[in-house]
Amino acid sequence: MFRKGGDVTFLAEELQAVFDPKGGYWQKGKYMPSLVAELGSVLDKHMRGIGMIQPSERALAARKLIAEKRGAASNVVKLQAGATPESAEAIPPHAVGTTATSTKTCPECGFGGLVQTGGCEICPDCGYSRCG
């Protein structure tokens, strides 16, 4: 099927929708309803990595929000480091040292913005969840 060409991105979604009648399992903090669904997840991750599948609108909105928050937080850190409000925009974030703007990268899909919600870190791109 892959060699014939055409759009095969639907396969990842279809495989992820397969449920095992005996029940699923947890794999790296994400529930897998079956082994076939895990194969679909791996295929989805690969297709996203090579650009065949584009991020969802929700993921793009989350990335934009995270970028805005990073910018606002880095300006606060720059001001705490002694910059004036006018010069805070001109100082690159890495020049200040350790900032509070670093976010964790999703171990499942590589998205650089896990969101903290109710004690859980959730990836808005692939749905990965790490509760603790």
Q: What is the total residue count of the chain? A: 132
Token pair listed for 39: 């194969």
Name the residue among 125, 126, 129 with its Cα closest to residue 59.
Answer: 125
Tokens 């976010």, located at residue = 103
Instruction: Say if CB 45 and CB 108 are below 8 A apart.
Output: yes
Give, for all 132 residues of the chain, the pLDDT tens digit.
667 767 788 888 899 999 999 989 988 888 899 999 999 999 988 988 888 877 777 777 887 888 887 777 666 555 555 555 555 455 454 444 333 233 677 777 777 777 777 777 777 777 777 775
State the Cα–Cα distance between residues 28 and 66, nearest whole angstrom: 24
Four-point Cα dihedral 107, 115, 29, 108, nearest 10: -20
**31-37-39 Cα angle (round to 5):** 115
For 35, phi then psi, to 5°, come to: -65, -35
67-to-2, 22, 61, 102 alpha-carbon distances in Å: 36, 42, 10, 11
Indicate whether this model's pTM tops 0.85: no
Q: What letter represents residue 112's amino acid?
A: G
Question: Residue 51 corresponds to which amino acid?
Answer: G
